[in-house]
Amino acid sequence: MKKIRAIFTLALFLALPLINLADGPPPPPGGGGGPGGGGSPVGAPIDGGLGILLALGLAYGALKILQSKKK
């Protein structure tokens, strides 16, 4: 059990740089722009979800490797 907890903690700390929590969209440009200013549309960021999926996949893979070594 201690080994699983250590592997999960290590995977979590290794995946934290992949998860970008602090950045948001840039502020709108100031002044002079009326409605329909012709800017590009802002889409949903894929980095946050992708980082979480990678971290979960890494933890799951580590668990499966550990389980296969026990057998």
Phi, psi values for residue 67, rounded to 5°: -70, -35
The predicted structure's pLDDT at residue 5: 84
Give the pTM.
0.37
- Indicate whether 37 belongs to any domain: no
The predicted structure's pLDDT at residue 61: 92
Q: What is the pLDDT of residues 2-61, one digit of tens each?
A: 888 888 888 877 777 766 656 666 777 665 555 555 556 666 666 667 778 888 999 999
- Indicate whether 27 belongs to any domain: no
Q: How many domains does the chain have?
A: 1
State which residues form the domain around 60: 1-20+48-71
3-state secondary structure 9-28: HHHHHHHHHHCCCCCCCCCC
- Indicate whether 55 belongs to any domain: yes
- Indicate whether 30 belongs to any domain: no
